[in-house]
Structure 1
Amino acid sequence: MIPVTAFAGKRCALFGLGGSGLASARALVAGGADLIAWDDNPASVERAASEGIATADLREADWSAFDALVLSPGVPLTHPEPHWTVRKAQAHAVPVIGDIELFCRQRALLAPDAPFVAITGTNGKSTTTALIAHILREAGRDVQMGGNIGVPVLDLEPPAPDRIHVVEVSSYQIDLAPGLDPGIGILLNLSPDHLDRHGSMENYALVKKQLVKKAGRAIVGVDDPWCASIANLIEKSGVAVTRISVTTDRDAIDLSDAPSLRGEHNLQNALAALHACRMLGLTDSEIRAGMASFGGLAHRMQIVARHGRVLFVNDSKATNAEAAARSLASFASIHWIAGGLPKEGGIAPLARFFDRIARAYLIGEAAPAFAATLGGRVPFEISATLDVAVNHAAADAAASDADEPVVLLAPAAASFDQFANFEKRGEAFVAAVDALEPHDVPRAAGGGA
């Protein structure tokens, strides 16, 4: 934990007692803040109270006495409309901040020059965060990784001169961190996302810009016009900018020994990691070794097994066609497991990858619609359930003539018809692969076409 002594003796309101909110409450109390916390969920309030955190309905509080409102990132700040706590704070000129701001203020107090890498972007930020942290750890550095990637930033060890914090930061968190000033700020890419929370693409881009605006050095992907413009603007303001591009920097890095970094999208992630680790003093040989041993993130192009020539890849996080396109583009002979709860547009946008698919195994509610789209262009079967799909795909892949047949779970659909979330679906895929007999006898071909 990082006790937030920067707010010692100050009176703070906190709303939202989920994972990051509860971590913030603990850190503030440990640092000596006078904290009152609340949540609309009675169970969350009860849990906080059981830990000795003072709780009270903030509707009845004296807001003129507060020095800050610490807001959970999941609570609306501006759109579709400000949360009632935000309106109360604004009415009393109380600053509204979040956990990343608390971290930045404590870093400034403890070790202002401590290495701090902050990563954001519409896609790829979790993989890039995990990759940088992995490379640094493999090179023997003291690394703390967290933020939006899973471990709340205030649950990490405190900043110290030789300790590197590698932190994924969402747009919601950036919006609550006016003092965000990483030593290295990484902005990977921008495309329309979370517009219900930001109101417009322009507002969304403006929020993301804040992560690199005050960075000591910025690494910016310039393959989309939004980021290219941001790179130019912050450079004019005096920020040192390193631009990366998957179209012009293909020869800057060799990923042939890094199987978990296949695909063009991972090239951008790897380029960002390369430059960040160089800035932190690593040699290229240390960086290459770290990339080669990187296992990838669970459920995101995760290589889970190899049976003979057959590679098994879990991309359960690919819950729509755009996400599935990245993994389909990364392999040549694919036994594709797809389906679940269908999303608007289905898999029609993936037609350009159909020639890569040896056979499709369709599951869940989307199966009939996906089958209609595949039509006579891709052999398919309606497997219905994931375990059946894995067994059939594994047998067919083992019997194929391809050099490296791939059994790929990239559902292009949500999970909620059969699983609680994409993580549970991915875990079920891994379990089904683990249960395969090492020498399964190829089954007889069947199913639709």
Structure 2
Amino acid sequence: DVVAGDDGAERLAEAAKAGFVTADLRTVSWSDFAALVLAPGVPLTHPVPHWSVLKAREAGIEVIGDIELFYRERRRHAPDAPFVAITGTNGKSTTTALIAHLMQTAGYDTQLGGNIGTAILSLEPPRMGRVHVIEMSSYQIDLTPSLDPTVGILLNVSEDHIDRHGTIENYAAVKERLVAGVKPEGTAIIGVDDGFSRAIADRLDQAGKRVVRVSVKNPLADGLYVEHETILRSASGARSEVARLGGIGSLRGQHNAQNAACAAAATLAIGVKQDVLQQGLRSFPGLAHRMEQVGRRGHVLFVNDSKGTNADATAHALSSFADIFWIAGGKPKAGGITSLEGFFPRIRKAYLIGEAAAEFAGTLGNKVP
């Protein structure tokens, strides 16, 4: 039995009109409830727990999310059905969509959703032979205590969502739970090009997890790495070619090389053959708003990267091109664009919009017209 609640009276009225049982959760008896299923956008811990979380704790009931509900059904009906979970500060959506595309190319019954596109409970339910490829934000991981994916991917960790986690250490610890929870026979895939992720990979290794390290910055003695637009696998002193990325416009840039290498590691772990992997990489259309090639006019390529909402994500796009007319602005994040100064010589002209325009203009100064 489900009772729906919301802080907004209008939303409650909409739900009631649609036929849902609703209530003002401030006035009901919480002792009648088994669980509070929280939307991931509602604060669980920082800056302060939402009032409903406090009421749940007072009543001694658990606070979970929609992915946890899915997991409980999976455990009852199809515990061995492949489940691929992806997290990271940047690149989650592209990697998730790419893995789903690769699995579909290989002929698997594939469901894509979570933090991208379709909410997990609106997907087809778990069953043997069906693969769920699920993007997870830190908020969703926080609300999924029994998370144990077949393949867990941590792409990277950099400063983000500190308002919701308090410190970057807390944020990294939540991200770590996704790969730490991988099934004993499963695979944890970790991008090791930042300090937090390297430390996480080392801890999981020591705990006996099967860890596949991925790098786009340095060759690895054991793992997957990218060199000259080629994904290579290294093990026991020998290396072999996995796939080639050259000429694939939807996977342009070092950050997309990391996304592709992690996706390759995931699909290989599930059993996709290398020739099918290469075919899938070449046919991947990319995601809307993420370095999306939207058209050409003469020699000018128009690229929509409007999902690049922090400096770290934007750095990936700026590093992928040499002669840039840059439209930037919107809502500023902590630190603004000061960390992007190394890319300013690539920008021929900037067009600044929105709330951040004045701050960004100050940072660009007379370095970029």
- TM-score, normalised to structure 2's length? 0.87
Structure 1, unaligned stretches of length 5 or more?
A: 1-33, 381-449
SS in 2 for 1:219: strand
Query: What residue in structure 1 maps to residue 240 of structure 2?
Result: none
Query: What residue in structure 1 maps to residue 84 of structure 2?
Result: 117
Query: What residue in structure 2 maps to residue 62 of structure 1?
Result: 29
Give the drift of 1:348.
Answer: 4.3
**Distance across 2 between alignment mates of 1:211 and 1:372:** 39
Give the drift of 1:333.
Answer: 2.5
Given the superposition, is the C-alpha separation of residues 368 and 189 from structure 1 closer, same or farther in structure 2, using an over 3 Å criterion? Answer: closer
Query: What residue in structure 2 maps to residue 350 of structure 1?
Result: 340
**Distance across 1 between alignment mates of 2:333 and 2:38:** 31
Give the drift of 1:111.
Answer: 0.7
Given the superposition, is the C-alpha separation of residues 64 and 289 from structure 1 closer, same or farther in structure 2, using an over 3 Å criterion? Answer: same
Query: What residue in structure 1 maps to residue 74 of structure 2?
Result: 107
Aligned length: 345
SS in 2 for 1:36: coil
- Give deviations 1:192-233, integer Å, cap 9, x for gaps: 221221122222122111111121211011111211111122
Query: What residue in structure 1 maps to residue 226 of structure 2?
Result: 250
Query: What residue in structure 1 maps to residue 38 of structure 2?
Result: 71
SS in 1 for 2:3: strand
**Where does 1:160-199 land on structure 2 (aligned, <5 Å)?**
160-199=127-166
Matched, 1:200 2:167: yes
Q: Give the structure with higher Rg (CA).
A: 1
Given the superposition, is the C-alpha separation of residues 339 and 77 from structure 1 closer, same or farther in structure 2, using an over 3 Å criterion? Answer: closer
SS in 1 for 2:190: strand
**Where does 1:50-449 land on structure 2 (aligned, <5 Å)?**
50-215=17-182, 216-247=186-217, 248=219, 249-251=225-227, 252=232, 253-340=243-330, 346-357=336-347, 359-364=348-353, 374=364, 377-378=367-368, 380=369
The worse-fitting range, judged by mean Cα deviation, of 98-107 and 211-220 is 211-220
| Residue identity in the other structure for 2:302 | F
**Distance across 2 between alignment mates of 1:212 and 1:279:** 14
The worse-fitting range, judged by mean Cα deviation, of 197-206 and 181-190 is 197-206
| Residue identity in the other structure for 1:189 | N
SS in 2 for 1:189: coil
Give the drift of 1:343.
Answer: 5.6
- Give deviations 1:345-395, integer Å, cap 9, x for gaps: 5544333223323x21414356666566556654x4xxxxxxxxxxxxxxx
| Residue identity in the other structure for 2:204 | I
Report if aligned partners of 1:133, 1:166 keep a CA contact under 8 Å in 2.
yes
**Distance across 2 between alignment mates of 1:40 and 1:372:** 39
Report if aligned partners of 1:214, 1:239 keep a CA contact under 8 Å in 2.
no
- TM-score, normalised to structure 1's length? 0.72
Given the superposition, is the C-alpha separation of residues 222 and 347 from structure 1 closer, same or farther in structure 2, using an over 3 Å criterion? Answer: closer
Give the drift of 1:303.
Answer: 1.0
Give the drift of 1:166.
Answer: 0.3
Report if aligned partners of 1:185, 1:217 keep a CA contact under 8 Å in 2.
yes
Give the drift of 1:71.
Answer: 1.0
| Residue identity in the other structure for 1:182 | P
Report if aligned partners of 1:137, 1:143 keep a CA contact under 8 Å in 2.
yes
**Distance across 2 between alignment mates of 1:206 and 1:369:** 32
Report if aligned partners of 2:352, 2:360 keep a CA contact under 8 Å in 1.
no
Give the drift of 1:295.
Answer: 1.8
Give the drift of 1:138.
Answer: 2.4
**Distance across 1 between alignment mates of 2:333 and 2:90:** 19
Give the drift of 1:338.
Answer: 3.4
Query: What residue in structure 2 maps to residue 49 of structure 1?
Result: 16
Give the drift of 1:43.
Answer: 2.0
Give the drift of 1:106.
Answer: 0.8
Report if aligned partners of 2:352, 2:361 keep a CA contact under 8 Å in 1.
no
| CA RMSD across the alignment | 2.1
Matched, 1:39 2:6: yes
Given the superposition, is the C-alpha separation of residues 310 and 200 from structure 1 closer, same or farther in structure 2, using an over 3 Å criterion? Answer: same
Report if aligned partners of 2:90, 2:313 keep a CA contact under 8 Å in 1.
no
**Distance across 2 between alignment mates of 1:55 and 1:197:** 27
Q: Percent identity?
A: 57
Give the drift of 1:257.
Answer: 3.0
Report if aligned partners of 2:71, 2:147 keep a CA contact under 8 Å in 1.
yes
Give the drift of 1:323.
Answer: 2.8
Give the drift of 1:326.
Answer: 1.3
**Distance across 2 between alignment mates of 1:49 and 1:97:** 23
Query: What residue in structure 2 maps to residue 412 of structure 1?
Result: none
Give the drift of 1:311.
Answer: 1.9
Report if aligned partners of 1:362, 1:370 keep a CA contact under 8 Å in 2.
no
